[in-house]
A and B are shown apart, each in its own frame.
Chain A
Amino acid sequence: MRYGRLVLEATAKAMRPDATLSELQEFLAGVIRRSENLGAPANADVHDALLGLVAGSARLTPLEQADIYREQFWLRHRDSLDEDFPAFAYFLGRDAFRAFARAYLTAVPPTSFTLRDLGLALPAFADHYDFPHAKAAFARELAHFDLGFITTFDAAAREPVASEKVSAIGADAWPDARLELAPGLALFAFEHAVHTYRSAVRRGEAPSAATIEARPTRLALYRGDDLRVHQLEMAPSEYELLVALRDGASLSAACERANALEPEGVEASVGGWFATWARRGFVCDVVTGT
């Protein structure tokens, strides 16, 4: 609603020949974010203002000139979202994705100087979007997973914990130890194997229909030594343990949470998991009471 109000308020002011720089910019910014061609009847409310503002040329009317910027606004942002959400866009198909992108950009205008941030709010928007699609839940999970690749790729750099530090921690200190996880580590609990679907899309293959069927899946995204993003499917208990540690629980408290999913307990597995996490750079520090 803010968008519509901005345009209406700015219209009358911009028609004045002495409109200030800020009035001119706010008016034009509202106009070029309109979704329909500026010559369309739906935009008749700004025609007079545009004619008063834009000079036109020998080949283009003022409306046509302004419409170049309007068209580029939508193309640029839609293409950026398409690039950042490849699996989500593929699953929706061209027309449905375009409709979604238009709705998203209208509801959530770009506010960051970098296009890298353009889709940060897209998964949350998708969570409440009315998809004309039988598999809306799958689409929403794909949106979250696609965004994870962006945030993990761009995450702050932090060195993994030194093995010497880990070795020096006494056995009695481990139960109360808290682990600081890598900034780029992203954890997901999905109802579908979205990673299988996304991998197929990225390989340029058509994902099999089976990948869309429900299969509870726990996934991690992390940045490897090569600084690229890798994915890892985990057991539910390993996922639960990592989530608890990420949220600040001590190792013993985290194990208790994970034990609820493992009748025989996770203690026997923790050592192996920890070695895997260390190898993959999941853990940046171990904080003990001493």
Chain B
Amino acid sequence: MTRSKTVHAPRLGLPDLGCGVGLRIPHYAHMFDAKPAVDFLEIISENFMLEGGLPLANLDRALGDYRVVQHGVSLGIGASTPLDWDYLRRLKALTKRTQTPWLTDHLCWTRVPGAELHDLLPLPYTDEAIRHVTERVRIVQDFLELRVGLENTSSYLTYRQSTLTEWDFLSAIVEEADCGILLDVNNVHVSAYNHGFDARTFVASLPHHRVLQMHLAGHTNKGAYLLDTHSDVVAEAVWDLYRHAISMTGDVSTLVEWDADLPDFETLWGQAKRAAAIRDEVRQARSGGDREGDAT
């Protein structure tokens, strides 16, 4: 008896853009003058949801030379407040401007009635939260007419209410909402350290064909916990985990984030080039393995 197996398109059929970096103000002059051959750029959506002015002019310049993807921090997909339709309308207008191939934000909550926290707070890993987030993702995807990718956050607390692991929680939501995953490899490492789970188990347990983008970043060791600061080079343990993740997902657009203590552009780009080199190594190893398999 033949066992049937569903074959999924990698990255939900979305393109692999290569290895890029976040577009940040201190690098504008270099980007616009030297036009380095970066595969793609990522912007923080909220920094450009404006009615005019220099940020949008600079974005238009970047769009003239680069593929740009949008990443947000304020969607609040897990918040128990109603969806913010003014925010979504402005977000959609920006997606039309950038022609982003997908839109990502965090699997978290960011606000309560009467207050925005401007933080990425973890959800309890419960069936109630799965239902809540799934319904909202469907609505947002329909409205934006774009595939949404949910990013796993770095977290510093867990709830007694949780009945699932984080990876099962994330997997259930993306399957039921039919959306993508932005796999932040650094966040997996940070949360694994903070909560004592195995980072490789997290990565191995996801539906890999739904990973449409990955993030890499540096963090800060505060002793009792790791803090996701985006203020340093990617840690060696995170590079190892990235290699492991890429070996499971295949080539996926990879973005290096660096927000605090920003270095010169070449240093940042060097991190993206290292990600590209790892992708090449993994691809070559896989094709070599495939050839050996064919010969036997």
Residue of B nearest to A26 (CB): B112
Confirm or deny: A22 has a beta carbon within 8 angstroms of a beta carbon on chain B.
yes
In the complex, which residues of chain B have a beta carbon less than 8 angstroms from the beta carbon of A6?
114
Partner of A21, one of B115, B124, B162: B124
Confirm or deny: A114 has a beta carbon within 8 angstroms of a beta carbon on chain B.
yes
Partner of A153, one of B49, B54, B157: B54
Asked if B158 and A54 make an inter-chain contact with CB atoms under 8 angstroms apart, the answer reads: yes
Asked if B109 and A25 make an inter-chain contact with CB atoms under 8 angstroms apart, the answer reads: yes
Question: Which residue numbers of A lie inside 8 Å of B, CB to CB?
Answer: 2, 6, 17, 19-22, 24-26, 28-29, 32-33, 52-55, 57-60, 62, 64-66, 68-69, 72-73, 76-77, 109-115, 153-158, 183-184, 223, 227-228
Task: Using A73-B117, A227-B53 as known contacts, say yes or no to A62 and B109 having CB atoms under 8 A apart.
Answer: no
In the complex, which residues of chain A have a beta carbon less than 8 angstroms from the beta carbon of B112?
22, 25-26, 29
In the complex, which residues of chain B have a beta carbon less than 8 angstroms from the beta carbon of A25?
79-80, 109, 112, 121
Q: State A62–B156 Cα separation when bound (angstroms).
A: 10
Q: State A69–B124 Cα separation when bound (angstroms).
A: 16
Interface residues as binary, B244-287 with A (CB distance below 8 Å gives 1, 0 otherwise): 00000000000000000000000000000000000000000000
Task: Using A53-B159, A53-B160 as known contacts, say yes or no to A156 and B51 having CB atoms under 8 A apart.
Answer: yes
Asked if B117 and A113 make an inter-chain contact with CB atoms under 8 angstroms apart, the answer reads: no
Q: Closest Cβ of chain B: how far from A229's Cβ, in Å?
A: 9
Asked if B116 and A158 make an inter-chain contact with CB atoms under 8 angstroms apart, the answer reads: no
For this complex, into which size category does the number of interface residues on chain B fall? 35 or more
In the complex, which residues of chain A have a beta carbon less than 8 angstroms from the beta carbon of B124?
21, 24
Task: Using A21-B129, A69-B121, A156-B52 as known contacts, say yes or no to A114 and B114 having CB atoms under 8 A apart.
Answer: no
Asked if B54 and A28 make an inter-chain contact with CB atoms under 8 angstroms apart, the answer reads: no
Q: State A191–B129 Cα separation when bound (angstroms).
A: 55
Asked if A17 and B117 make an inter-chain contact with CB atoms under 8 angstroms apart, the answer reads: no
Q: State A161–B132 Cα separation when bound (angstroms).
A: 50
Q: Closest Cβ of chain B: how far from A270's Cβ, in Å?
A: 28
Confirm or deny: B196 has a beta carbon within 8 angstroms of a beta carbon on chain A.
yes
Task: Using A21-B124, A29-B117, A154-B53 as known contacts, say yes or no to A60 and B225 having CB atoms under 8 A apart.
Answer: yes
Asked if B46 and A114 make an inter-chain contact with CB atoms under 8 angstroms apart, the answer reads: yes
Q: State A25–B87 Cα separation when bound (angstroms).
A: 21
In the complex, which residues of chain B have a beta carbon less than 8 angstroms from the beta carbon of A76?
118-119
Q: State A223–B55 Cα separation when bound (angstroms).
A: 13
Asked if A158 and B52 make an inter-chain contact with CB atoms under 8 angstroms apart, the answer reads: yes
Asked if A65 and B156 make an inter-chain contact with CB atoms under 8 angstroms apart, the answer reads: yes
Q: A25-B80, A55-B158, A64-B224 are in contact. List 16 more A-B contacts (CB 8 A).
A: A6-B114, A20-B128, A21-B126, A25-B109, A26-B80, A26-B112, A29-B117, A53-B160, A55-B160, A57-B158, A57-B196, A60-B225, A72-B119, A73-B119, A77-B118, A110-B115
